[in-house]
């Protein structure tokens, strides 16, 4: 990506108000176009190993405007550009590949269980109770662990209802969220190879997101 995009986002974080944003609208438009180019590249390349349908760039990009209705933070804009890439785009409701471009080495690719319903969480725990080996085989592979070394997300401090604290998979069962991220430095983001780096991350995430989408959505539809 263009280093100017990171510079714009850094400036926006320091001048997060509508007047400054409108005065620098051309810089935002150029940064948005830069993000669109990255997403377009990823749609094309991911489409070679996963059916994305007729996915369009605009279906993936998230708004830079923040929803401030119920937030104490009234800053009108996010200090990042982001997109959700997967079948159906950002609004599919399913687990996709989330890319967030943010300065100061905060850019990352991620994916996993984040905003789940009570029913989905129950299905996840039921699957782990029944057969945790399939998930563990995916997330314990050397290349996966090297790129995504730790699990992110909320974990119960107590034992989930209906499960023994002696359960052999109690650590996984305590997870309310199960999300993996890989961060990129600003230098990597501004490099010519950034798109290929993100594509590598998506390729490594795919077996995990496939598994989670099956457990949370497709498996439920079969019953």
* Amino acid 5: pLDDT: 98
Q: Is residue 221 scored above 70 in pLDDT?
A: no
* Amino acid 70: pLDDT: 81
Q: Which of 106, 76, 84 is nearest to 12 (CA)?
A: 76
Taking CA atoms, 45 is separated from 124, 178, 210, in Å, by: 30, 26, 17
User: What are the domain boundaries of the chain?
Assistant: 3-221
Geometric angle at alpha carbon 26, from 20 and 29, rounded to 5°: 110
Q: Is 45 helix (H, G, I), strand (E, B) or coil?
A: helix
Q: What is the mean pLDDT of the chain?
A: 95
Q: Per-residue pLDDT tens for 35-90?
A: 999 999 999 999 999 999 999 999 999 999 998 888 888 899 999 999 999 999 99
* Amino acid 69: pLDDT: 81
Taking CA atoms, 65 is separated from 12, 75, 102, in Å, by: 12, 9, 15
* Amino acid 222: pLDDT: 58
Q: Taking residues 10-26, what's their average pLDDT?
A: 97
Neighbours of 46 (CB within 10 A): 20
Q: Taking residues 118-138, what's their average pLDDT?
A: 96
* Amino acid 71: pLDDT: 82
221 against 16, higher pLDDT? 16
* Amino acid 13: pLDDT: 96
* Amino acid 220: pLDDT: 57
Q: Which of 219, 211, 218 is nearest to 135 (CA)?
A: 211
pTM: 0.94
* Amino acid 32: pLDDT: 98
Q: Per-residue pLDDT tens for 187-218?
A: 999 999 999 999 999 999 999 999 999 999 87
């Amino acid at each position: 990506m263009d280093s100017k995009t990171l510079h714009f986002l850094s400036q926006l974080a320091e001048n997060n108000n509508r007047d400054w944003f409108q005065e620098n609208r051309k810089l935002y438009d150029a940064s948005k176009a830069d993000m669109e180019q990255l997403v377009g590249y990823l749609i094309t390349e991911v489409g070679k190993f996963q059916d994305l349908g007729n996915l369009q760039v605009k279906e993936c990009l998230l708004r830079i405007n923040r929803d401030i209705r119920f937030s104490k933070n009234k800053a009108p804009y996010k200090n990042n550009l982001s997109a959700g890439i997967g079948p159906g785009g950002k609004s599919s409701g399913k687990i996709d590949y989330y890319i967030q471009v943010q300065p100061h080495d905060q850019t990352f690719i991620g994916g996993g269980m984040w905003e789940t319903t009570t029913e989905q969480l129950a299905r996840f725990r039921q699957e782990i109770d029944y057969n945790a080996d399939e998930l563990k085989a995916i997330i314990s592979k050397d290349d996966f662990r090297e790129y995504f070394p730790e699990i992110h997300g909320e974990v119960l401090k107590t034992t989930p209802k209906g499960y023994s604290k002696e359960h052999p998979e109690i650590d996984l069962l305590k997870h309310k969220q199960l999300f993996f991220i890989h961060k990129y430095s600003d230098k990597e983001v501004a490099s010519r190879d950034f798109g290929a780096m993100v594509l590598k991350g998506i390729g490594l995430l795919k077996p995990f997101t496939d598994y989670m989408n099956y457990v949370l959505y497709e498996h439920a539809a079969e019953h």
